[in-house]
Amino acid sequence: MLQKLERKKMVVTGDYASAYGALLCDVDVVAAYPITPQTYIVEDFSTFVNDGLTDAEFIKVESEHSAMSACIAAEAAGARTFTATASQGLALMHEMLFVAAGLHMPIVMPVVNRTVASPIGIWCEYNDSMPQRDTGWIQMSCETNQEVLDMIIQAYKIGEHKDVLLPVMPCLDAFILSHTVEPVDAPSSDEVREFLPPYEPKVILDTKNPMAIGSFSPPEYIQEVRYQNERSMQNAKKVIKKVTEEFASYFGRDYYGLIEEYRCDDADVVLVTTGTVTGTAREVVDEMRQEGKKVGLVKLRFYRPFPKEELQKIGEHVNAIGVYDRSISFGSGGPLFIETRSALYGYSIPILNFLAGLGGRDVTKRDIRKMFDYIIKAASEGKAKKEIIWIGTRGVEE
């Protein structure tokens, strides 16, 4: 049972925004295991429980693998569940991510993007969440702490939709959001309850109606199960658009579905970004527009499901596209570049990949401007001299 919470403006970290978003959603079970820079999410929620704001079951487990196992078990019993992790913790959880998605359990788990060893680092990098793209989870990246709170709320609405029933992984940048305070407008618990009704699971474990879930299955059935998961992921595209529209009508903040376009209507070239770098890129777009350069920005909010159709529409009227990645698929470039290039297969425009900010290095306005300069040059020449460019990397020629 959730205590009544009034609408309020807060100045909070991204971790607190994650925990408070889960509180507003009246979750039933939280499985908690610490890892920097996620720890404050579950710590903050434990404070909510201690202070009597919620009677949610708070389970302290012995590992991230156990955290996801506990959420799966609770979800199977009909509970709305929540956990959080980062980096090596997400890697340890990898096995159980497939189980949650395969059983169509709409668990919500914010991931604070952090470097994966080796070498050991605690700063922002997307090499923890990007390898999870094929586990069957819906995945998205947040730009601000306001978006973090709002997307926790939307994540339950999306994942619990009858045509989706998939777990959701909102991601936020380590320290840039997780430990940095920003103003956040928090809706009241009554407002959230009206937007997000209590969870009504479609199938639950019931001693009066015994069943087995996730049991052994022969090859005759597994391919159909995979197809059902794929269909759910495809259904999520329409549901995401609908939920963001509903959220905008309820709370006045519009996130525009799978992507957000900025000054793209008449753009000659565009840069695709994700996460907090997007805010920096917006400023660069405005500056270059004042210089008469027709540049645009595409904020990639969701990368599972991947917004193939939206990017294809943009590709039809621009002369070149650049894709920013804060992770690397070794030997092939950045993951978002690989997927964007695949989505635009058959298009004759140059597509460039910019690798920057790995390991938590700052990505500056100068770096973004350099990316746009490369894209503009490729557009003018009709091809890119180099397809994959490491920005600001010592010992590497750009």
What pLDDT sits at residue 215? Answer: 85
Query: Which two structure tokens, joined as six digits, stand for 303?
Result: 């990368």
**CB within 8 A of 330, min separation 6: which ones?**
none
Distances (CA, A) of 87 to 37, 111, 124, 223, 260: 9, 8, 10, 31, 27
What pLDDT sits at residue 397? Answer: 80
Q: Give phi and psi for 366, each to the nearest 5.
A: -60, -40
Q: Give the residue among 161, 113, 170 at the shortest CA–CA distance from 137.
A: 170
Q: How far apart are CA 178 and CA 266, in angstroms?
A: 35
What pLDDT sits at residue 398? Answer: 78
Quote the percentage of the chain above a pLDDT of 70: 100
What pLDDT sits at residue 167? Answer: 98
Q: How far apart are CA 398 and CA 393, in angstroms?
A: 8
What pLDDT sits at residue 207? Answer: 86
Q: Is residue 390 a contact partner of residue 363, using CB atoms and an 8 Å limit?
A: no
Q: What angle do CA 368, 372, 375 make, to 5 degrees?
A: 140
pLDDT averaged over every residue in the chain:
97
Query: Which two structure tokens, joined as six digits, stand for 21?
Result: 């978003």
What pLDDT sits at residue 203? Answer: 80
Query: Which two structure tokens, joined as six digits, stand for 137?
Result: 């989870």
Dihedral class, residue 256 (left if φ above 0, else alpha if ψ from -120 to 50, else beta)? left
Query: What pTM did the predictor assign?
Result: 0.96
Q: Give the residue among 310, 300, 306 at the shortest CA–CA distance from 233.
A: 306
Q: Is 353 helix (H, G, I), strand (E, B) or coil?
A: strand
Q: How far apart are CA 352 and CA 341, in angstroms?
A: 9
Q: Give the residue among 32, 260, 255 at the shortest CA–CA distance from 148.
A: 255
Q: Is residue 352 a contact partner of residue 390, using CB atoms and an 8 Å limit?
A: no
What pLDDT sits at residue 191? Answer: 98
Cis preceding-peptide flag for 305 (omega within 30 of 0): yes
Rounded to the nearest 5 percent, the helix, strand and coil shares of the chain are: 40, 20, 40
Q: How far apart are CA 40 and CA 179, in angstroms?
A: 9
Rounded mean pLDDT for each run of 10 residues along the chain, 398 residues in total: 94 98 98 98 98 98 98 96 98 98 97 96 97 98 98 98 98 98 98 96 86 88 95 98 98 97 98 98 98 98 98 97 98 97 96 97 97 97 94 89
Q: Per-residue pLDDT tens for 274-301? A: 999 999 999 999 999 999 999 999 999 9
What pLDDT sits at residue 211? Answer: 84
